[in-house]
Chain A
Amino acid sequence: MLANLFDEAAQRPGLLYIEYVDLPSRLLPVLLLFGLACAPAIGAGQEEGFVGSAVCRNCHAKTWTTFHRNPHYASLASGREPRERTGCEACHGPGKAHIEAQGGKDNLRSFARLETRETVEACLVCHGRDAELRGARHSRHTLAGVSCGECHSIHGAGTATKLLLRRETETCYACHARVRAQFSLPFKHRVNEGSMRCSDCHNPHGVGAAVARMGVRPRMMEATRAGEEACLKCHTEKRGPFAFEHAAGRIEGCEACHQPHGSVNPRLLKRPAVFTLCLECHTGGGTFGRGADGIALPSATHDLAQARYRQCTACHVRIHGSNADPSFLR
């Protein structure tokens, strides 16, 4: 039925909107009001050269064949969107000139020719309501010239959701080669295995200023719903609050000790031996904390000449925070 409607619509632009009037009479008052509200937009659309999406399939049959499986098809199927937000013309602009010229890329919005900012603005016309996507306008990706089309493809998507060109991991690796290497290390978060995704921790569409660490870093890290470091989304047992917190985790973040993407060391630690990792901070510096000694030196009872004292976490088992012992022993 809808296909027939499109055929007619191809001949009579605006038919989809006229058809709306033909509904149960009890809805007429509401529809009249709606129609009045829409009328200026429809009229303006006709003047600006909108012709409706059904015309497009005459030449772009391959794209049209599976377009009903594209999330953007909803704008067409609903029939309630204004013309500048409906179907093909929602993204590519009015098609009249394109049709009259029998094709060409100069007479409509061709995303391959747009500047990054123009592409982002075009997508945010509809997607700008989403709080997670709105930051794309000025994310570091956008500033670096990475536009929506570098990762997404409306008509040639390689994934079933999000319309990504490739699997999410591969999409990110395409530019972040160093990260690919990190996730190939023996100890890593299971991103390559499909158990995690880059977007579990990062928001590629940009976030505001980060507050987990100094220097407005880490960038593009999506905090937890409570505004904490992204690691705590999954590692809830380390979130606390604890009566005695390991302040380093709250101040310098988990990256003070761990390499979140991957490491050659167990537990994603930054050093192969634990005691060097601890001693590099516990030099007695700083003024906050117990006795204003900040980061306390190991006490004289810790004879580093004995191997057992070089395994700090053998005793300090609650190193992320404890409720029972300020030294994280239990």
Chain B
Amino acid sequence: MRGEIVQLMRLAVAFLTACLCGAQPTVAPSQGHSATEPGKAAGNYDIVQHFETGYRFRTVDGNLGKYRSDVNYGNGVRLLSGYLSLHSRDGHGRRFDELVLTTHGLGNDPYQSASLRIQKDRRYRYELLWRSNDYFNPALTIAEGRHARNTQRRWQDHELTLLPQAPIRLMLGYSRNSHDGEALTTTQPFDARGDEFNAFARLKSHQNEYRLGWQMRLFGLDMQFTRIWENYTEATDSESGASQSGSAPTTGAVLTAFRRTEPYRGSTPGWRAHIAGERGRWLTMNGRLMWVYGKREFVLDETAAGRERFGLARNRQVLVFGSGRRPASMGRFSLFIHPGNTLTVYSHTAFHNSRMEGDSVYQQFDNAARVLERLRFQFLGIRMLTESTGVNYAPVRWVGLHGGYQFSNRRVRSIEHVGLSPAAPLESTQENTLHAGLAGVRLHPAERMRISLDTEIGRADRPFYPISERRYHAFSARAQYRHRKAMVAGTVRTHYNANPVSFSMHSARTKVFSLDAGLAPEARFGLDGGFANTRLETTSAIAYFAGSRFLEGGRSHYRSDLWSAHLMARVSFGSRAQFQAGYTRVEDRARGVGRVGLPGLPANLNQALLQAQAFPMVYQAPLARFTLRLHEKLNWNAGFQYYRYREDLVSQNYRAHTGFTSLTWSF
């Protein structure tokens, strides 16, 4: 009997290993590298390095576009992860004391990153973070699937600090953010009420930011000043070469040629100052000021030829040029008073003021004759003041009380000129004030147990949008027990908001419940799991035109009942092998309320409103990862992750097998 069990176990291990080798692995969860990992001495340095390289696999059944949008791992050889650290053994390296390099997914993974940190004590500290993200989105349920994107975004941030421990330190920084790729979009070339046509777009934008700053201590205050220069360039163009009909079947509009170029560039210089200080242990303060002046120049040149909706031949050119400007200032000041060890009084005050102003000259040429010229000018000013005052009181070690008051006031002002006539501009202002109160209790009934209860109630007088918070109250409770070998935590949250106005209303209710637990009785075994449930229900009044009728009093209902669970187990077999397995499942179980209840509503619109009331779906992703030590410096890894996505609204379901097999060298 015992022999049979051993035989079965061997078969199971062999099967699992075969699966891991031959299956299409996907996710390669990069292992963390501990700062306490022993290294190898090389001269005055202590070196630790690991490089994991291997091959990724994938197979997808179903909607490949949706898979690429959600996951996007592909096939090919990768440097899945890399780690190199050099530390001076005595803290006095010749060029540097510390160098840490990490990489993730290099070699054509959709998500790649690298970070580098080099520093020499008291001399300099340099940090680099580089990231690349391949983004693919077919957007099937948005704009009838006509706004696809296959783009790549890259970021890099460089920070150099000179004399990091000196009373006066110097900081230099550079960041670059680029976005390139192809996209599908739409255009309405002949008139705003006409047909829309597909167009192919090449996206290209680059942002460069340079920073120079210094920090010093003066009169007992820490002061930091930073000068910022930002340049932004966008050179997106779009075109459509082939003759095509529009999306409205009842019109005769045809587009035979279309091209649009729209260069857009500008700069945003700015200043940032930060001042902080303290008086003994009873008073600390923290202030920050920012000022920026964003300015952009733009030109749009669009040519289109074809037939308009009434069937007439049209040749139209649109030229738009102008500028947009947005000066903005922001200030924050925080003050903390500690009359004793048990009491803290704090006050956060902040303001933000931005005004956006721009003008654009619009010229339109129909069949080579200029028929329209307009000067448009728009101003949008937003001013906001915020004050938050609170008290934190802990009369005894195991009880803490917290209470506070928040005040926010925001004013929005807009001015608009339309046309060339000297008519008075359209000007309007709206102001909203919010008062909110907070209260909370922290309990520490046992050394390892912590309980917190918080509540907030707020009232706003004139919110700007129907979905804004007007009469809301929120409550949250959390209990946690944490031991060195076990942890369990539970959270409950609710948030209710009602925004009734004379002609509209909106109400939203959110309830969240989550439970998490972790168990690690010994170093070779760990278990981590949890689930969360988020219930959201909103009702909003909507009004619209349908079939030449104005329908008001309608309702937009939306429900979400999102359940998610995860379970991860890790087992080590001595020092030779490690196995991880996990499962993640997300499911939205919500069903719509099933009523729209508006007389005269067209059947197809009624159906569309019913469909938009909920979005039932299931998304699950089990995974496994196995590591076997082949040699002191060589590990073999294999991983597998299966994805399954299913929903009912649009047919874009898929199943994907992904995985990898790799070798990790440590040398």
Contacts and interface: CB of A to CB of B under 8 A. Distances in A.
Tell me if chain B binds chain A.
Answer: yes
Interface of A: 1-3, 65-66, 68-71, 73-74, 76-78, 80, 115, 117, 121, 128-129, 131, 134-135, 137-138, 143-145, 155-161, 163, 166-167, 174-175, 177-178, 180-181, 184-187, 190, 193-196, 207-211, 214-216, 223, 225-228, 234, 236-237, 239-245, 247-248, 250-252, 256, 264-267, 269, 271-276, 279-281, 283-292, 294-295, 297-308, 310-311, 313-315, 317, 323-324, 326-327, 329-330
A269 B480 CA distance: 33
Interface string B372-384: 0000101010101
A252 B139 contact: no
Contacts of A295: 465-466
15 contacts: A78-B121, A143-B440, A160-B35, A178-B532, A211-B384, A266-B141, A274-B142, A274-B143, A281-B467, A285-B501, A294-B464, A305-B547, A306-B248, A317-B185, A329-B188
From B35, B37, B139, B410, residue with most partner A Cβ within 10 Å: B35
B359 A290 contact: no
A291 B87 CA distance: 65
B635 interface: no
A137 to B, nearest CB: 6
A115 B188 contact: no
Interface stretch (B52-60, B400-408, B625-633): B400-408
Q: How many residues of B sit at the interface, in one of the four size bands? A: 35 or more
Contacts of B87: 68-69
B499 to A, nearest CB: 10
A184 B465 contact: no
Interface stretch (B7-15, B343-351, B572-580, B658-666): B343-351
Nearest to A308: B247
B509 interface: no
B532 A180 contact: yes
Contact of A279 (B112, B284, B444, B542): B542
B61 interface: no
A304 B354 contact: no
A223 B332 CA distance: 12
B296 A241 contact: yes
B494 interface: no
B193 interface: yes
A218 to B, nearest CB: 12
Contact of B177 (A138, A156, A234, A266): A234
B168 to A, nearest CB: 12
Given A143-B442, A267-B137, 19 more contacts: A128-B222, A144-B452, A160-B85, A180-B530, A180-B564, A184-B564, A186-B70, A195-B133, A209-B334, A214-B432, A243-B376, A244-B376, A252-B465, A266-B137, A280-B542, A305-B605, A311-B144, A314-B147, A314-B186
Contacts of B617: 186, 264
Interface in B332-365: 332-334, 336, 341, 344, 346, 348-352, 354, 356, 358-360, 362
B640 interface: no
B556 interface: yes
B163 interface: no
Contact of A285 (B325, B436, B503): B503
